Amino acid sequence: MISELMIKKFGIKKFAGVTLAVLFGLSLFALAQANPAAGTPAAAAANPPDSPSAAAALAAKATGTKVGTINIEQAIFSSNEGRRDFDELAKKFEPKQNELKGKADEIDSLKKQLNAQQDKLNDESRDKLVKQIEAKQKSFDRSTQDAQEDFQNQQGEIGNKILTKMAPLIVKYASESGYGMILDTSQQWPRGPVIWYGPAVDITQPIVEAYNTQSGVPAPAAGSTAQKPVRPSAPKPAPSTPPKQ
């Protein structure tokens, strides 16, 4: 799945420093505060059904009693727009992945050289090789961290952009369908609030379909999904060797 591809790439968390549950809550809070008078006839005429103020009016007037669930992360990642944008991001970072893999391979090669020749090297040559490995390791770690942060920030920007446009649809759908509460299931219990739920109360797929219709972004062509990238493994520390006698 796209979500697995993106969150495993570089081994980072979804969306920079903030869980989607928090983002979703903040987005709906902002919608609810956008325009308290949006429920008046004049306001309804001035605001289309999918506008934030209209969604706020629906939320304010909601009288439903049903409890539903939605996997916000899945909805974002599996939408046509999300699949397109996250695939593009993965392809954008492929050169950096290849660069880091090349650095990791170089460090591993030097370590193998040290292990194979340590009995033949004098102290000066061995120390020089060890320092070379340490310098390259430090550079690799710094480059990997920079790439992780850059990728994470760009991933967060994509997710936040989609969430901002998807939140009014969630409010509208839930209000019109008789829901009085929607819980996010992106995080499994105990990290998330939901211990158990059945598929009958989940609105993720209807929201994805509604968002795809609203966005107008076509579904990616079959087979266009980027291949799962391989995160370069951090080279193991060079073994310490006693000085030659």
Task: Summarize pLDDT for 5-58 with one digit per residue, the tens.
Answer: 333 444 333 443 333 444 444 444 444 444 433 433 333 334 444 555 555 555
Q: Tell me the C-alpha distance between 168 and 22, whole Å.
A: 16
Contact 110, 136 (CB under 8 A): yes
Mind listing the pLDDT tens digit for each residue in 60-101?
A: 566 788 999 999 999 999 999 999 999 999 999 999 999 999
Q: Which amino acid is at 233?
A: S
Task: Output the six-digit token pair for 169.
Answer: 């649809």
Q: CA 26, CA 192: separation in Å to the nearest integer?
A: 16
Tell me if residue 50 falls in helix, strand or coil.
coil
- What pLDDT does 224 receive? 55
Following DSSP, what letter does each residue of 99-154 receive, concatenated?
HHHHHHHHHHHHHHHHHHHTTTS-HHHHHHHHHHHHHHHHHHHHHHHHHHHHHHHH
pTM attached to this predicted model: 0.67
How confident is the model at residue 32, as a pLDDT?
A: 42
- Report the alpha-carbon distance of residue 232 to residue 9 in Å, rounded: 10
Residue 77: predicted pLDDT:
93
The pLDDT score that the predictor gives to residue 238 is: 47
Which amino acid, residue 198?
G
pLDDT, tens only, 45-65? 344 445 555 555 555 566 788
The predicted-structure confidence for 179-232, as pLDDT tens digits, reads as follows 999 999 999 888 888 989 999 999 999 999 999 999 999 998 876 544 333 344
- Over residues 130-170, the pLDDT tens digits come to 999 999 999 999 999 999 999 999 999 999 999 999 999 99
